[in-house]
Structure 1
Amino acid sequence: MIGGNIPFPMLSDQNGEIGKMYGIYNEESGTETRGRFIIDPDGIVQAFEVLTPPVGRNVSEGLRQLKAYQLVRETGGAEVTPSGWQPGKKTLKPGPDLVGNVWKEWDVKEAFE
């Protein structure tokens, strides 16, 4: 990346090899649809977003998701992040008591704060 100030690895797939593996390469036009894939250290795709060219991606949302996946991994899944979670905000403790009761622990307005 120009300037080198991106805090995570990015790549350019000039030959379309990676795009073909992830199903975003258009053989007809010889181009790829831009995508964001969050892949954990074990090589598992945890999240992906693919948008057509007229709409740009939200870098802040990608970084938020990356931080959320890192937290979940660091806690071994003992903490999970609800919608809109930001670092320092409340996490949830998964388990049978939480199923059907998220509303008791988390309010939807927290996703927008």
Structure 2
Amino acid sequence: MTVQTSKNPQVDIAEDNAFFPSEYSLSQYTSPVSDLDGVDYPKPYRGKHKILVIAADERYLPTDNGKLFSTGNHPIETLLPLYHLHAAGFEFEVATISGLMTKFEYWAMPHKDEK
């Protein structure tokens, strides 16, 4: 017998009328581990210039039906490239349009990473 995961959005108790992706979506489109491996950049960047990272500062995205979808910056899509760029010698300035702090999609965080 196959166990089916729900395709219904999960309630986000932190905000009224807000939701996380369904268990099914999380099982299909996120990974419990980042599968991050060591990197080696024998000739790292040594310049003075930094990379400007423009990130989202919104936690919720209003949808057409009036509900709020929990959103933000995907942790792997955001942090993995920064990890490699940092290992290659680059530094960053992180900014948002409003000047508020960056928001991450914590529901997409690899929850079984050991490091």
Higher normalized helix content (fraction of residues): 1
Question: Given the two structures, how large is their TM-score scaled by the length of structure 1?
Answer: 0.21
Larger RCO (CA within 8 A; separation ≥ 6):
2
Question: Given the two structures, how large is their TM-score scaled by the length of structure 2?
Answer: 0.21
